[in-house]
Structure 1
């Protein structure tokens, strides 16, 4: 059963997180605001050593939740595995990461470079996670599941504290994968900016999290067909759904075309090459401009690890 995210632990978390992951820049651009019809406040999490916000939570987890020298197993689409490998190996913990056979090669190479043993299994993230869980049980190692460990969400919640301190906003649009980011940000924002609307975003081709939160019960899908590999969830974590529903006011879905349009505009106006899952917040604004018109809207640019093919496509756009 997941431990619920707590505000006091989010406030305390930065003491345990490598400073290279903290105080990331907040980007604004008047021309981009004009194109969107709202004032965008973009928290850029792409310039740290793993190109993702995941370093915040994995740092906190490795600092507080592991016994000395304790080895672990996890599954990852790439960014969580990078964060856990960096945080764990630097502290003397062996880290084995299971990833899908179709995983982004840039992320696979990065995980190995950071010291993880990477094993490929299954056609997608959830298939790899099933194998990882079975392997951990068979060899009696700790299985670390992104979305269930409180420290992963609490580390992510430091983003919200930084955002709230940097600029006022009326709404925040948050990527929704397994839920650690939403749990951390939602918990913090409910306390430090209670007026702000919190909107979670999934890819239309991977709707399981939206369907599950909207219905209040676990909904699995047969496929997760999206370029946004970081939020390509087929099998939600049932025990987290009620808490995630409390952490947001709405869950919306965006198309593949809208995701790429957001990537292109972010690159053009902000100069950041962000991976698809990192662009879905802007995609949600593009998808429903009337909802956000004239408002101050925060979002997170939370992945800079594009596959070679996606980077080539973005730069050619």
Structure 2
């Protein structure tokens, strides 16, 4: 798709990506590609999942970080490197630095999930917790670089980073030569840019489609404006693509080569994560399954041939995972919460539960409210949390309650 932007020759070319692939041999895994029967039936064409969630450190970020640090001069290596990240880039820089014998310092927000902090330390980095938001963390990392001479390793806005991420595209073409569409999540744009460079050079007929969370969708507005545009306070559970402004280097490539950008809702993200767990047996973080969310949201858009969805990462905080799973199950009609009023007398609750049992609704939690001034003297409000089997089952539960004379009030 042309966005009418006069873009110069892309700063990253196929030879750069091929060189990165040679450099990463024996370092980054050639991650597997798994077919998905469910998504294939939904789309009406074969769908394959490129499992970068099974990459070392749990995401594609190792690829770019290793290529970037490998390109440093001996003097630069001696000064060490510094990065700022809440998770995936932090771990990629930490491991790449350790493999190359380079000292690394990683600044992470004070509220970064403890498992990600621990993993970054275990990969060999010195971790400094600073700031409450990523902008504060980035500023601290840049100040450290200015003060110590350490090389700042940007997560996406650098030629070598993009070349390293582009090796994912080469693997996709090798593993699925019949592919017609590749879906890739976009934050700053490094992965999408790298894949676009590799794929369009070898197979210009293949569509490359980016996916952003609707609450952090900087690329659609930026492409329309012809230059990077910032999103104030991007909000999404998909922290891996929660980037407020496209990188200058990847933006030029994306503007020239990417075919389309789609956005997905938070409900679609949580439903996609649940689907990956249940159907594909894969743990994928919200940013990583944004591509699956796009397939779930608009399956008809991708019906024209084999589709590869890149699962970019699998690093998710267990506490966040718990909340996302609840959200995903609710979005899929697997949880139902409701309030209703019953007579405040012995046996009333048992009668209500009997109705629910007849329609196979599993009661997870029951609570009573007797102090609401809107309740009648002989009434009690009951709040129920049910486990259900989907949207149609939720409707069946509602119909059964109505038929039994219960009025649902919320």
Q: TM-score, normalised by structure 2?
A: 0.72
Match of 2:129 in 1: 120
Where do residues 192-231 of structure 1 align in structure 2 (5 Å cutoff)? 192-231=202-241
Q: Is the 8 A contact 1:100 1:128 kept in 2?
A: yes
Q: Is the 8 A contact 2:11 2:249 kept in 1?
A: no
**1:90 aligned onto 2:93:** no
Cα deviation, 1:74-100, whole Å, max 9, x if unaligned, reads 111211111111111232211111222
- Runs in 1 of length 4+ with deviation above 6 angstroms? none
Q: Is the 8 A contact 1:178 1:236 kept in 2?
A: yes
**1:27 aligned onto 2:34:** yes
Structure 1 residue 121 displacement after superposition: 2.6
CA RMSD between the two structures: 2.0
| More deviation, 129-138/47-56 | 129-138
Cα deviation, 1:200-228, whole Å, max 9, x if unaligned, reads 11111112233223321232222121111
Cα deviation, 1:47-92, whole Å, max 9, x if unaligned, reads 2330111111222222223434330111112111111111112322
Unaligned runs of 5+ in 2: 1-9, 330-410
Aligned CA distance change for structure 1 residues 91 and 307 (closer, same or farther; 3 Å): same
**1:234 aligned onto 2:244:** yes
Aligned CA distance change for structure 1 residues 61 and 142 (closer, same or farther; 3 Å): same
Q: Distance in 1 between matches of 2:135 and 2:25?
A: 29
Match of 2:84 in 1: 75
Q: Is the 8 A contact 1:228 1:277 kept in 2?
A: yes
Cα deviation, 1:168-218, whole Å, max 9, x if unaligned, reads 111111111111101110000101221111111111111223322332123
Q: Distance in 1 between matches of 2:242 and 2:44?
A: 29
Query: Which one of the candidate residues 5, 12, 24 is aligned to 1:17?
Result: 24
Match of 2:385 in 1: none
Unaligned runs of 5+ in 1: none
Q: Distance in 1 between matches of 2:248 and 2:109?
A: 22
**More RCO (CA 8 Å, sep 6+):** 1
**1:63 aligned onto 2:73:** no
Aligned CA distance change for structure 1 residues 190 and 294 (closer, same or farther; 3 Å): closer
Query: Which one of the candidate residues 108, 111, 117 is aligned to 1:102?
Result: 111
> How many residue pairs get matched?
315
Question: For the pair shown, which has the larger CA radius of gyration, 1 or 2?
Answer: 2
3-state SS in 1 of match to 2:53? coil
Structure 1 residue 154 displacement after superposition: 1.1
Match of 1:274 in 2: 284
**1:189 aligned onto 2:199:** yes
Cα deviation, 1:211-260, whole Å, max 9, x if unaligned, reads 22332123222212111111111133335422221131111211111111
Q: Distance in 1 between matches of 2:324 and 2:237?
A: 13
Q: TM-score, normalised by structure 1?
A: 0.92
Q: Distance in 1 between matches of 2:310 and 2:249?
A: 25
Aligned CA distance change for structure 1 residues 285 and 16 (closer, same or farther; 3 Å): same
3-state SS in 2 of match to 1:74? strand
Q: Distance in 2 between matches of 1:35 and 1:267?
A: 17
